[in-house]
Amino acid sequence: MSKIISAKVIICSPGRNFVTLKIETESGHYGIGDATLNGRELAVAAYLEEHVLPCLVGRD
Protein backbone atom coordinates (compact mmCIF):
# COMPACT_ATOMS: atom_id res chain seq x y z
CA MET A 1 0.00 0.00 0.00
CA SER A 2 1.18 3.46 -0.72
CA LYS A 3 0.67 6.42 1.60
CA ILE A 4 -1.40 9.50 0.87
CA ILE A 5 1.02 12.37 0.38
CA SER A 6 -1.41 15.15 -0.49
CA ALA A 7 -5.07 16.00 -0.46
CA LYS A 8 -6.56 19.23 -1.71
CA VAL A 9 -9.94 20.83 -2.14
CA ILE A 10 -10.75 22.32 -5.53
CA ILE A 11 -13.68 24.72 -5.96
CA CYS A 12 -14.79 25.49 -9.52
CA SER A 13 -17.86 27.04 -11.12
CA PRO A 14 -19.13 25.46 -14.34
CA GLY A 15 -22.62 26.96 -13.99
CA ARG A 16 -22.69 26.32 -10.21
CA ASN A 17 -20.06 25.74 -7.57
CA PHE A 18 -18.55 22.28 -7.40
CA VAL A 19 -16.35 21.09 -4.54
CA THR A 20 -13.92 18.35 -5.52
CA LEU A 21 -11.38 16.54 -3.37
CA LYS A 22 -8.19 15.23 -4.99
CA ILE A 23 -6.04 12.73 -3.10
CA GLU A 24 -2.56 11.70 -4.32
CA THR A 25 -0.37 8.80 -3.17
CA GLU A 26 3.40 8.45 -3.04
CA SER A 27 3.24 5.95 -5.91
CA GLY A 28 1.64 8.56 -8.19
CA HIS A 29 -1.95 7.32 -8.08
CA TYR A 30 -4.72 9.79 -7.42
CA GLY A 31 -8.44 9.82 -6.79
CA ILE A 32 -11.03 12.52 -7.27
CA GLY A 33 -14.34 12.78 -5.43
CA ASP A 34 -17.24 15.21 -5.52
CA ALA A 35 -18.33 16.74 -2.21
CA THR A 36 -20.83 19.35 -3.39
CA LEU A 37 -23.81 20.41 -1.29
CA ASN A 38 -25.80 23.00 -3.24
CA GLY A 39 -25.80 26.38 -1.55
CA ARG A 40 -23.24 25.31 1.06
CA GLU A 41 -20.14 24.83 -1.07
CA LEU A 42 -17.83 26.98 1.04
CA ALA A 43 -18.97 25.26 4.26
CA VAL A 44 -18.22 21.87 2.70
CA ALA A 45 -14.81 23.07 1.52
CA ALA A 46 -13.96 24.46 4.97
CA TYR A 47 -15.02 21.20 6.66
CA LEU A 48 -12.88 19.16 4.29
CA GLU A 49 -9.83 21.42 4.70
CA GLU A 50 -10.06 21.75 8.48
CA HIS A 51 -11.20 18.27 9.54
CA VAL A 52 -10.88 15.66 6.79
CA LEU A 53 -7.61 16.49 5.02
CA PRO A 54 -5.48 16.43 8.18
CA CYS A 55 -6.77 12.90 8.90
CA LEU A 56 -5.98 11.61 5.40
CA VAL A 57 -2.39 12.70 4.74
CA GLY A 58 0.06 10.02 5.84
CA ARG A 59 -2.46 7.17 5.85
CA ASP A 60 -2.22 4.03 3.71
Residues 1-34: tens digit of each pLDDT: 899 999 999 988 766 788 999 999 999 999 999 8
- Long-range contact set of residues 35-40: C-beta below 8 Å, sequence gap at least 24: 35/9
The Cα 41–Cα 57 span in angstroms is: 22
- Predicted pLDDT at 22: 96
Report pLDDT for 38.
77
pLDDT, residue 13, reads 77
Alpha-carbon distance of 15 to 35, in angstroms, equals 16
Q: How many beta carbons lie within 10 A of that of residue 9, not counting itself?
A: 17
Q: What is the CATH number of the domain that holds 26?
A: 3.30.390.10
Query: What does the pLDDT average to over 36-40?
Result: 79
Distance of CA 43 to the CA centre of its chain: 13
Give the pLDDT confidence score for residue 14 in this predicted structure: 63
Q: How many domains does the chain have?
A: 1
pTM of the full structure: 0.81
| Structural domain for 34, as ranges | 4-56
| Model pLDDT, residue 15 | 65
What is the rounded CA–CA span in Å between residue 50 and residue 10? 14
